Amino acid sequence: MTYRPETTGARGAALLADPLLNKGTAFNRQERDELGLDGLLPPAVETLDEQADRAYAAFLNYDKPLNRHIYLRQLQDTNEVLFYRLITEHLEEMLPIVYTPTVGEACRRFSAIYRRPRGLFLSWEDRHRFREILRNRPHPEVDVIVVTDGQRILGLGDQGVGGMGIPIGKLSLYTAIGGIHPARTLPILLDVGTDNEELLANPHYLGRREHRLTGADYDELVEAFVSAVEAELPGTLLQWEDFATVHARPILTRYRDRLLTFNDDIQGTAAVALGALTTAVSVAGTALTDQRFVVVGAGSAAVGVADMIRTALVDEGLSEADAASRFWFVDVNGLLVRSRTDLTDEQRVYARDDGEAAGWNGTGLAEVVRQVAPTALIGLSTAHGAFTEEIVRQMASSSERPIIFPLSNPTSHAEAEPADLARWTDGKALIATGSPFPPVEVDGREVPVAQANNVYVFPAIGLAVTAARASRVTDRMLVAAARAVGECATRAAGADGLVPLLPPLTGMREAAREIAAAAALAAVEDGVAPKASESELRAAVEAAQWVPAYAD
């Protein structure tokens, strides 16, 4: 797809105000003359590469992550091709600025740093007009929507209208990594109010000044939104993002067979964790079916990770019951056991018989690790420091290569510091984290810490469904994507034989094509996409991946 000034009739200042059409100083002399730009730009004519070099220097002049985030957002609102060229050239460096962890602070300060509109804001009062409001979208064709209600932003809780920073950031990565054309993405914020009293008391807060909708009213708003999407944008991928546990799973269950949709916190996080786990068990010289998992935290993301691993275990030959029996869940109230009355149906799948804990010294994490001797410890609790030295050393005493994934975001909520995990296990731990951490030192050499960031999966899923014309996102598609993540990581092994648990971020656009091809093939096999051969799907994936370059 090519967007050109002649297709819109934009000229002069209006052309420069359109971030998809604006080339800034890259407009040549002839274009400046023909498009009414003479005098509106400095005399120099630059190439895109020269613009990117200048923009990178400007980026480096900001010393604080939030200021760098604001600069990049302003660049995105000015010249999207330049923004994405800059991001793709410096992906590893800029990913923590565009998205987690810096996006968390950007959401907290959304009202203070708000500059230009992007996306759609849908409020309760307008629920009967959602279809009409969707028609106000900037571009008619949309491949991917990311929507949030701002209630559970990373580990920061309710950010209300500030949650819009998450869909904007996610969709930036759909484009930078997956290659979804920026004009075909749409961030949406469902403003159902906020229970954050600090925001409600802030005179500059830009959202709805009411406490959050609950119950039937909340469900009515979500249904109105889904119905509007069905009517206006059928076949568009709808990603649910950062909804509270009480809503996330029910929404996914209600709509996953009705729409082309998935929940990234539940399914994307799970697929990336499975990808890193696939590599870890290979490095450890064991099998996935040999693992014993202790999961800390029992929210939608944690259960989603277990569900994804369980699907893979069943695919490798275990029964559903046997696969579920490989998990021990621990939350703030201790081990999940069947006598507990506070469990959801999804949590109850993993509840243990009460008799198993008979004679234990309580059911806290330390005792569970001592009794179970897990081979894998996965944290999605947002409880900083939950993986203590005592617990980790206990685990390492019974596992030659303990797999330890403190996956909670942001960094301040991680269950452990990777450097500590490496020290407590004498460098034997296989580590993946949810937020970026510096390399750890093992045997005198620096070893990168794998960040189990959802960017390994969700952009590729967007690319896969776009290329394959899929009508649904299935579990098998996500498992196929996870396995492809592991294969990409294995192929990235260095000359020293060190295998990263996840592929290097610097090569993620190429990896996204491999992951998308695997998911697209699974879509065809599941019957949710038109018949196509693997070679045809690979060609379609490559053709669908947009490259940030100016149209000739």
CB of 279 within 8 A of CB of 499?
A: yes
Residue 6 pLDDT level (bands cut at 50, 70, 90): low
Instruction: State how far the Cα of 492 lies from the Cα of 88, in Å rounded to an integer.
Output: 19
CATH number where 248 lies: 3.40.50.10380
- 211 lies in a domain? yes
The helix (run of H) or strand (run of E) holding residue 420 is: helix 418-424
Q: Which of 408, 433, 452 is the last residue of a domain?
A: 452
Pairing verdict, β 237-240 and 334-335: unpaired
Helices (H) and strands (E) in the chain, counts: 25, 14
CB of 417 within 8 A of CB of 437?
A: yes
Sorted by sequence, the CB contacts under 8 Å of residue 112 that are 6+ apart come out as 204
Residue 88, pLDDT > 50, answer: yes
Residue 529, pLDDT > 90, answer: yes
Instruction: State how far the Cα of 471 lies from the Cα of 17, in Å rounded to an integer.
Output: 36
CB of 279 within 8 A of CB of 288?
A: no
Instruction: State how far the Cα of 225 lies from the Cα of 483, in Å rounded to an integer.
Output: 33
pLDDT digits (tens, 9 = 90+) for 193-213: 999 999 999 999 999 999 999
- 26 lies in a domain? no
Do 429 and 290 lie in a common domain?
yes
Instruction: State how far the Cα of 161 lies from the Cα of 192, in Å rounded to an integer.
Output: 9
Domain count across the chain: 3
Do 419 and 500 lie in a common domain?
no
Do 320 and 197 lie in a common domain?
no
**Which of 552, 519, 550, 546 has its CA nearest to residue 88?**
546
Q: Which of 452, 486, 507 is the last residue of a domain?
A: 452
Q: What domain range includes position 242?
A: 47-259
Which tokens sit at 540? 């379609």
- 104 lies in a domain? yes
CATH number where 280 lies: 3.40.50.720
Q: Which of 99, 174, 218, 255 is catalytic?
A: 99
Q: Does the annotation mark 170 as catalytic? A: yes
Residue 182, pLDDT > 60, answer: yes
| Confidence at residue 411, expressed as pLDDT on a 0 to 100 scale | 84
Pairing verdict, β 445-447 and 440-442: antiparallel
The helix (run of H) or strand (run of E) holding residue 534 is: helix 534-544
Do 296 and 444 lie in a common domain?
yes
- 8 lies in a domain? no
Q: How far is CA 382 from CA 65, 346, 440, 497, in A?
A: 22, 20, 22, 33
Instruction: State how far the Cα of 127 lies from the Cα of 133, in Å rounded to an integer.
Output: 9
Largest CA distance in the chain: 84
Tokens 């299935």 appear where? 474
Do 136 and 219 lie in a common domain?
yes
Residue 462 pLDDT level (bands cut at 50, 70, 90): very high
Q: Which of 23, 84, 170, 174 is catalytic?
A: 170
Do 90 and 174 lie in a common domain?
yes
More confident residue, 59 or 552: 59
CB of 521 within 8 A of CB of 537?
A: yes
- 79 lies in a domain? yes
Phi, psi of 240 (to 5 degrees): -90, 135
At residue 174, what is the residue type?
Y
Which tokens sit at 525? 């096999």
Which tokens sit at 30? 């002839």
Residue 496, pLDDT > 70, answer: no
- 1 lies in a domain? no
Sorted by sequence, the CB contacts under 8 Å of residue 408 that are 6+ apart come out as 155, 297, 379, 380, 381, 382, 383, 384, 414, 415, 434
Q: Does the annotation mark 99 as catalytic? A: yes
Pairing verdict, β 261-263 and 293-296: unpaired
pLDDT digits (tens, 9 = 90+) for 429-444: 999 998 889 999 888 8
Do 214 and 297 lie in a common domain?
no
Residue 2, pLDDT > 60, answer: no
Dihedral angle at the C-alpha atoms of 438, 443, 444, 445, nearest 10 degrees? -50
Do 301 and 387 lie in a common domain?
yes
Q: What is the mean pLDDT of residues 170-189?
A: 98
pLDDT digits (tens, 9 = 90+) for 498-526: 788 999 888 999 999 999 999 999 999 99
**Which of 168, 177, 132 has its CA nearest to residue 150?**
168
Do 340 and 440 lie in a common domain?
yes
CB of 507 within 8 A of CB of 469?
A: no
Residue 228, pLDDT > 90, answer: yes
| Confidence at residue 1, expressed as pLDDT on a 0 to 100 scale | 47
Instruction: State how far the Cα of 71 lies from the Cα of 77, in Å rounded to an integer.
Output: 10
Instruction: State how far the Cα of 402 lies from the Cα of 395, in Å rounded to an integer.
Output: 7
Do 378 and 400 lie in a common domain?
yes
| Confidence at residue 497, expressed as pLDDT on a 0 to 100 scale | 66
- 544 lies in a domain? no
Which tokens sit at 433? 């984290």
Q: Three-class SS of residue 239?
A: strand
pLDDT digits (tens, 9 = 90+) for 95-148: 999 998 899 999 999 999 999 999 999 999 999 999 999 999 999 999 999 999
Do 312 and 190 lie in a common domain?
no
- Look at the alpha carbons of 542, 543, 546, 548 in this order and tell me if their dihedral is positive or negative: positive
CB of 218 within 8 A of CB of 124?
A: no
Sheet containing 450-451: give its strands across.
Answer: 334-335, 327-331, 293-296, 376-379, 403-406, 430-433, 450-451
Instruction: State how far the Cα of 49 lies from the Cα of 86, in Å rounded to an integer.
Output: 9
Residue 325, pLDDT > 80, answer: yes
Q: At what angle do helices 508-525 and 475-491 cross, to 10 degrees?
A: 140
Least confident of 278-287, 483-492, 495-504, 512-521: 495-504
CB atoms near residue 400 (< 10 Å): 10
| Confidence at residue 222, expressed as pLDDT on a 0 to 100 scale | 98
Q: Which of 259, 285, 316 is the last residue of a domain?
A: 259
The helix (run of H) or strand (run of E) holding residue 122 is: strand 120-123
- 540 lies in a domain? no
Do 316 and 425 lie in a common domain?
yes
